[in-house]
Amino acid sequence: MLLNIDNKLTDSYYEASVKRSAASPALAGDLQVDVCVVGGGLAGISAALELAERGYSVALLEANKVGWGASGRNGGQALVGFAGDDAVESQLPADDARRAWQLTVEGLQLLRQRMEKHAIDCDFVPGYMSVAVNRGKGQSLSAWVEHIARAYDYKMEQIPAADIGNWIASERFHSGAYDANSGHLHPLKYCLGLAAAARAAGVQIFEDSPVQQLVRGDKPLIKTAGGSVRCSYAVLAGNVYLGEYGKDVAPELSSRIMPVGTYIVATEPMGKERADALIKHRSAVCDTNFVLDYFRLTADHRMLFGGRVSYSTATPPNLAASMRARMLKVFPQLADLPMAQAWGGFVDITMNRAPDFGSLGNNIFYMQGFSGHGLVLTGMAGKLAAEAIAGQAERFDLLARLNHHPFPGGALMRTPALVLGMLYYQLKDLF
């Protein structure tokens, strides 16, 4: 089972570097509110906060603990844009694609505004580099940067091959692009800070309260083992965990996303001067391979290095050692640094890598399929869902217009089929 595997991957640097407040109680008894949110990650908490600030009574149900899933274990890279840019551009007219892109820019602004408004100290550092490992990928990256500037009036700085060594102390990369607007942060600190803001706004948060059933109707009824919530509206923000904890919640959604494992290691601290010498501006970095590496430096001068995907939901053997080997291909000068933690989690990807927003009937909204770009987009998703519930659905509906197909093969065959498909892309990354 996915969750049994996932439970072994939660010993993260993030959990080790925060002090959680006392756990919220599990739901006990029957409750009635305006809105029930399912999922205590960034999308769910964002929706709950926005709704409470608009005057709605809100209950949030989290199956484990706030920030337990991808929202508290991800790479910490806060980026504009979509993983599935091609799908957005092919399905929407140019003006609407531009509006969709602008939603992600606004999402990054929203993240910064919330940090300031709610005094969330989450180690935010501006700056992001996209890097190419060879000339061909460098040409593709350069063309993409030019396209983004033309189509969306979003400027990034080209880093030519002759200059890449001044940006990153690695011989692996040919060229790159720098985005001064995007950046990186400690995602669990941010998630917990946002949850504290939601509680202060009046949101009732219940942890250890997995949803077992959703009874649809004019007044949806959401049931857990300990009680139920009757509401006028529901927001489903459980992503890959929604179907694992409660098979009867929204079975039509689970086939449209796929859990993909991704893994991260954290080194022991290396000292500020040594860390500063590795990456200019201490930017977040991601390469352009399909099976990519992503990495950044922490506030206490560790290297966090991520990559190594699993499409079978099975944890790779010798995870810490294999991830360390990937890191040393990029930074062989870190060979003396011991590993402090190795962990992972599951990204919810769609077939076309574009986000999957929509509604079931007229009073149940869902957001899923962030496909690795969730740190910014989840916050915006929550805001858009709140707008839709308040009667201003235009922006939510813009993304809900994107078409999505189920993964082929059903629950039994889609994983091996995707594994075979990924072998093809791994070979393409060599060229």
Interval 393-420 mean pLDDT: 75
Per-residue tokens: 109: 């602004």
Q: At which residue do the structure tokens 């959703």 appear?
A: 214
Per-residue tokens: 423: 């072998």
Given a cut of 90, whether residue 312 has pLDDT beyond it is no
Q: Contact at 8 Å (CB) between 34 and 57?
A: yes
The rounded distance, in Å, linking the Cα atoms of 299 and 193 is 17
Kindly report, residue by residue over 66-122, the tens digit of the pLDDT: 999 999 999 999 999 998 889 999 999 999 999 999 999 999 999 999 999 999 999
Q: Which helix (H) or strand (E) holds 117?
A: helix 94-117
Residue 44 — φ and ψ, nearest 5°? -65, -45
Strands 125-132 and 284-287: parallel
Q: Contact at 8 Å (CB) between 117 and 53?
A: no
| pLDDT band at 282; cut points 50, 70, 90 | very high
Three-class SS of residue 376? helix
**At what angle are helices 187-200 and 94-117 packed, to 10 degrees?**
80
Per-residue tokens: 290: 């399909």
In total, the chain counts a number of residues equal to 431
Structural domains present in the chain: 2-74+189-257+351-408 (3.50.50.60)
Per-residue tokens: 23: 């756990």
Interval 406-430 mean pLDDT: 53
Which residues on neighbouring strands pair with residue 297, listed in sequence order?
303
* Sign, Cα dihedral of 421, 426, 427, 429: positive
Kindly report, residue by residue over 330-349, the tens digit of the pLDDT: 999 999 999 999 999 888 88
Per-residue tokens: 193: 């800070």
Interval 32-51 mean pLDDT: 98
Percentage of residues of the chain with pLDDT beyond 90: 77
Please provide the distance, in angstroms rounded to a whole number, between the alpha carbons at the two ends of the chain.
Answer: 36
Given a cut of 50, whether residue 230 has pLDDT beyond it is yes
| pLDDT band at 236; cut points 50, 70, 90 | very high
| pLDDT band at 394; cut points 50, 70, 90 | very high
Dmax (CA) of the chain: 65
Residue 392 — φ and ψ, nearest 5°? -120, 75
**C-alpha closest to that of 42 among 13, 73, 17, 21:** 73
Kindly report, residue by residue over 44-65, the tens digit of the pLDDT: 999 999 999 999 999 999 999 9
pLDDT the model gives residue 311: 67
pLDDT the model gives residue 291: 81
pTM above 0.85, yes or no: yes
